Amino acid sequence: MGLFDFFKKKETAPEAQEALDKGLEKTKDGFFNKITKAVAGKSSVDDEVLDNLEEVLVTSDVGVSTTLKIIKRIEERVAKDKYLNTSELNFILRDEIQLLLSENNSNDFRQFEYGDHKPYVIMVVGVNGVGKTTTIGKLAHKLKESGLKVVLGAADTFRAAAVDQIKLWGERVGVRVVAQAMGSDPASVAFDTLQSAVSSGEDVVIIDTAGRLHNKIGLMNELGKIKQVMQKVVPGAPHEILLVLDASTGQNAFEQCKQFTEATDVNALAITKLDGTAKGGVVIGISDQFRIPVKYIGVGEKIGDLQLFDKKEFVNSLFK
């Protein structure tokens, strides 16, 4: 069973949809309050409404570049149909956001399946505090639930707390954790984890890494070394380099995405803490601007509140 197959089967459940709707409540409230104010007293979509809408999108952390694309598309529709009124604006906006995300992410997460890779190796990157370890724990839980054998590698040896957290998640979820003493070579931990997974016949390996950005060259070198040693054990590893971003940091998440994509070959994103912020618009902007599939979203604190990102469901939920 592919990773995608499992999540797709699970996430269509009504409780998953309910969790998504609840997780986006703060973003929806802020977004629609702003749109309501933007069109107050207007009967048609004119230049002033479009200017106001542009401001709404930018202040909702959609990002300037993505906002301008969306506004241009709406302008084209307004020019084509002179009778558009403000009550139709939500429908038009939803359609254009969905279209934009579909066009810009033709290579969606369906490309990243467990497939024939055994073990399937995921290297997780991101700054400290974004929910990286929690995401690893929740992902391990989901995969174990599906019947896959999972092992975690505690390669963030820079912080004792990171190793302890991974061990706690391993105990909680019931998966093995490979760890060394604090200050050990992260590449050595990754090497040991993969060797252990191969000999034990485990299906998925998830490697945590240090979240330091103050020295990008150092980060590049460290991640590069981890990849090299993993490939000695499992050719082609890591199959997935997952960057974890915290939605509540807004524009800062864009900067982190820029830094990490320059440092390593990120091919999947996880955007966390959507339930605790009104800045859910970052999902739209980051998905559009970086052309990297948003694969997972965190919509709550419960162990099951990590979901595969579905662009259509996300936008529909935002506009409910």
Is 127 labeled as ligand-binding? Answer: yes
Task: Tell me: pLDDT of 237 over 90.
Answer: yes
Q: Which domain holds residue 248?
A: 120-310
CA-CA distances (angstroms) from residue 218 to 229, 240, 244, 263, 272?
17, 21, 19, 9, 26
Q: Residue 303 falls within a domain, yes or no? A: yes
Is 269 labeled as ligand-binding? Answer: no
Q: Does 208 share its domain with 288?
A: yes
pTM of the full structure: 0.91
Q: Does 271 share its domain with 127?
A: yes
Among 118-127, 208-217, 270-279, name the one with the lowest average pLDDT. 208-217
The residue ranking higher by pLDDT, 111 or 236, is 236
Is 274 labeled as ligand-binding? Answer: yes
Q: Does 139 share its domain with 57?
A: no
Angle ∠(260,266,269) on CA atoms, nearest 5: 95
Task: Tell me: pLDDT of 108 over 60.
Answer: no
| pLDDT given at position 112 | 37
Is 37 labeled as ligand-binding? Answer: no
For residue 165, the tally of other CB atoms under 10 A from its CB is 19
Is 9 labeled as ligand-binding? Answer: no
Q: Residue 294 falls within a domain, yes or no? A: yes
Q: Residue 232 falls within a domain, yes or no? A: yes
Among 64-73, 83-92, 130-139, 235-244, name the one with the lowest average pLDDT. 83-92
Is 285 labeled as ligand-binding? Answer: no
Q: Does 21 share its domain with 76?
A: yes
| pLDDT given at position 111 | 37
Task: Tell me: pLDDT of 3 over 70.
Answer: no
Is 212 labeled as ligand-binding? Answer: yes
Is 67 labeled as ligand-binding? Answer: no
* CATH number where 61 lies: 1.20.120.140
Tens of pLDDT, residues 260-309: 998 899 999 999 999 988 899 999 999 899 988 888 999 998 998 998 88
Q: Does 26 share its domain with 163?
A: no
Is 211 labeled as ligand-binding? Answer: yes
Average of per-residue pLDDT across 229-240: 95
Is 209 labeled as ligand-binding? Answer: yes
- Helix 64-80 vs helix 281-290: crossing angle, to nearest 10: 90
Q: Does 44 share its domain with 192?
A: no
Is 210 labeled as ligand-binding? Answer: yes
Computed over every residue of the chain, the mean pLDDT equals 87
Q: Does 291 share its domain with 196?
A: yes
Q: Does 29 share its domain with 170?
A: no
Q: Residue 320 falls within a domain, yes or no? A: no
Q: Does 89 share its domain with 146?
A: no
Q: Does 80 share its domain with 174?
A: no
Is 133 labeled as ligand-binding? Answer: yes
Tell me which of 72, 103, 134 is where a domain ends. 103
Q: Does 251 share its domain with 134?
A: yes
* CATH number where 199 lies: 3.40.50.300
Q: Residue 239 falls within a domain, yes or no? A: yes
Q: Residue 5 falls within a domain, yes or no? A: no
Tell me which of 103, 138, 172 is where a domain ends. 103
* Bridge partners (DSSP) listed for residue 204: 120, 150
Is 144 labeled as ligand-binding? Answer: no
Q: Residue 317 falls within a domain, yes or no? A: no
Q: Residue 9 falls within a domain, yes or no? A: no
CA-CA distances (angstroms) from residue 17 to 139, 299, 317?
18, 10, 8
Q: How confident is the model at residue 115 (pLDDT cuts 50, 70, 90)?
A: low
Q: Does 272 share its domain with 176?
A: yes
Is 252 labeled as ligand-binding? Answer: no
Is 275 labeled as ligand-binding? Answer: yes
Q: In sequence order, which residues have a C-beta less than 8 Å from that of residue 52 and are 6 or more positions away?
A: 37, 38, 39
Tens of pLDDT, residues 32-79: 788 888 888 888 888 899 999 999 999 889 999 999 999 999 999 888
Tell me which of 46, 69, 103 is where a domain ends. 103
- Report the number of distinct structural domains present in the chain: 2
